[in-house]
Amino acid sequence: MIVVLSKGISTHDKDMIRIYLKDRGFSARDQILGDDAVIGASGKGVADIRELGLLPGVERVAATSRPYELASRESRVEDTIVTVGTPGQQVKIGGSRITVIAGPCAVESKNQIAETAALVRESGAVMLRGGAYKPRTSPYAFQGLGMEGLEYMKAAGEANGMPIVTEVVSPELAVQMKDLTDMFQIGARNMQNFELLKKVGSLGKPVLLKRGPSATIEEWLMAAEYLLASGTKDVVLCERGIRTFETYTRNTLDISAIPVVKALSHLPVIVDPSHAVGIRAKVAPAALAAIAAGANGLTVEVHPRPDEALSDGPQSLYPEQFERLMRDIEALAPVVGKELLRTPRPHLSVESAAVISTGHSTGQSDKIAFSGESGAYAEQALMRAFGEEAPRLSVPSFTAVFNAVLDGSAAAGVIPVENSLAGSIHENYDLFLRYPDIAMVGELKLRIVHCLIADERANIDNISIVRSHPQGFAQCQEFLDKHPGWQLEPYNNTAAAVASIAREGAVKVAAIASEAAAQAFGLKVLRAGIETNPLNYTRFVIISRRGDGKGELTAAPVPPSLGSEKPNKASLVFSVNDEPGSLFACLKILSERGINLSKLESRPIHGQPWRYLFYVDVHLPAEGPIPQNANPRFDVSFEGAIEELKTKTEDFYFLGNYRAAV
């Protein structure tokens, strides 16, 4: 069992807990589990868990039925998120973002690893992989460059802002490699090399543990237990295919292991499709299948010239194949409720890196504002963009989000602006006109899965009132039509509707909201997936203060998961003169500059009957000349279009430009 200790527990109380356990036949060991200090109790002892839980300094007790106590989901309900790298160059594996590691099978030369690192970084990889020491079946095969190769790899990683992961093959080498690698990899052949596991675990660095070619899931998790019990708290499991009778692929990718392990363990799981199939043409389908099955990331072999590779050339992707795979992952991620992880580039200034990694300028609040209670869809979008650990500010309304960003109590905010079924959320578009100092700086799309949520004692046949945001009602109209007797009560947001039921203890009242909201308030889901159309997505934008408080084209903080790439989309609002061809003249300006129009919507101007504002989204050209000393985030042809549009319009608002979500 696992005894989770209270924060700030005294040495005396900790000693008394150890004595209690040893007196009852357990062996006790100190350990760190995520953010918690714990005492692991193993052996055939007998203890009253309730009595143990009352001892001073005990936060809670988790009795595990698994032999892998520290790795078990029973000991830690929430998912572990592993952090790799140093401040300013950190990557997180786990949670709601997909982490992609890429690089060659082996480091072959200084130029080869530097070239590969730059190529995979450009396509979106956030960590660099490569072998300095290569355990090979044949003693005559290329065995790697050793410490020299590791130094080349470390330099390539630092030059491109990527932590590195590399395989360690012996306990002696682990000590030598510790300061040069950000993450150790235990290869499939060494999964049950217990002396190596104990030594690597004792060094306290993150570890990527590959599944052995003939290992059961339990044996794999027991190997992780060796690492955790030896001292490290950061272990990532890697499924890389198992050996079966099949010969058409190098190994057989055990896709089913991903959801099975995620149910058994709190540790993140990634997949190595390259070793799983061993055939270049099959890597991408296997990788996408892994993401669809719930993997937290991938580690993919990429080589600038696979035909010349000294190791595993047939399974290494060409750079253009990897780039295509990354685009496919980005498109698939929202379908499975995740976002592709992006990290800042190393060429940014210290201030710019701080803005991108935290989402705010130094000296400002680090909180991200959202409207609603815990479990709101906006909070889920926030975590997707900024990470699960991002400090949050819950406010009661969308207007309050804008106010929090404007007065500095929040560094940024998350606002929904459009739903794929119900259309634009006009009240939020209108807020941009009321707050000219606020700009759109990021975009992401979240799949919306609505649930009917009620008290544990409730039954769907006894429900008489249903609460939700009006958009929630609209998106579930077909389901609601089957229950014409229900009274609909609108709320500011879906999570607030759930919170009201929890506060009141109402049994005949239900809410339409997310499963996360039900979990946050301890309620149950009566029906899941009640939205009329499963292709239900909401487009959220990240908002922030403009850099100079008023400038229309000033860069603003960008959330880390949306990357530091040049923006490719912009949002505008304008009105035109009441004369023939005035709107056409504006659209012609965009067309002539190669700017693609993706949205055009008109809205009445309040207080001015029969006059309209036009809301416009445009996709910017992929390339364009950038004048010397110009802001590199903006394409000069777009800036020219903006200036010309101002001469053809009456009211003009530049809402912001950003990297478009897929």
- Give the separation between CA 105 and CA 316, rounded to whole angstroms: 8
Which residue type is seen at 599?
K
- Give the separation between CA 596 and CA 590, rounded to whole angstroms: 7
Bridge pairing between strands 183-186 and 392-395: unpaired
Q: Which two tokens stand for residue 385?
A: 């963009």
Report how far apart, in Å, the C-alpha atoms of 56 and of each of 6, 14, 336, 499 are: 9, 9, 43, 33
Which residue type is seen at 122?
E
- Give the separation between CA 90 and CA 87, rounded to whole angstroms: 6
Q: For residue 16, how many other CB atoms are within 10 A of its CB?
A: 15
The strands making up 36-42's β-sheet, listed across from edge to edge, are: 27-33, 36-42, 2-5, 58-62
Evaluated on CA atoms 316, 322, 328, 329, the torsion sign reads positive
End-to-end alpha-carbon separation of the chain, Å?
A: 45
What secondary structure does DSSP assign to 614-627, as a single string?
EEEEEEPPS-----
Q: Which two tokens stand for residue 180?
A: 């040069």
The region, left, alpha or beta by phi > 0 then psi within -120 to 50, assigned to residue 270 is beta
Q: Which residue shows structure tokens 């200034």?
A: 349
Active site residue 245: no
Q: For residue 215, how many other CB atoms are within 10 A of its CB?
A: 18
Evaluated on CA atoms 399, 443, 658, 617, the torsion sign reads negative
Active site residue 194: no
What secondary structure does DSSP assign to 66-88, as a single string?
SS-TTTBTTT--SPP-EEES-TT
Q: Exposure of 175 by Cβ count < 10 A (0-12 exposed, 13-18 middle, 19+ buried)?
A: middle
Which residue type is seen at 219?
E
* β-bridge mates for residue 183, sequence order: 165
E strands present in 15-121? 27-33, 36-42, 58-62, 82-84, 91-93, 97-103
Residues in Cβ contact with 504 at an 8 Å cutoff, skipping those fewer than 6 apart: none
Q: Which two tokens stand for residue 539?
A: 């487009």
Q: Which of 99, 116, 538, 649 is catalytic?
A: 538
E strands present in 322-404? 339-340, 368-371, 392-395
Q: Which of 479, 540, 614, 654 is catalytic?
A: 540
Q: Which two tokens stand for residue 162?
A: 């990527």
Q: Which two tokens stand for residue 542?
A: 């990240």
Closest CA to 568 of 442, 437, 654, 446: 442
Whether 125 and 164 have beta carbons less than 8 Å apart is answered as no
- Give the separation between CA 299 and CA 269, rounded to whole angstroms: 11
- Give the separation between CA 22 and CA 6, rounded to whole angstroms: 20
Whether 78 and 96 have beta carbons less than 8 Å apart is answered as no
Q: Quick one: how many helices (H) and strands (E) in the chain?
A: 21, 30
Closest CA to 55 of 103, 12, 115: 12
* β-bridge mates for residue 28, sequence order: 41
Closest CA to 315 of 253, 244, 268: 253
Residues classed as catalytic: 538, 540
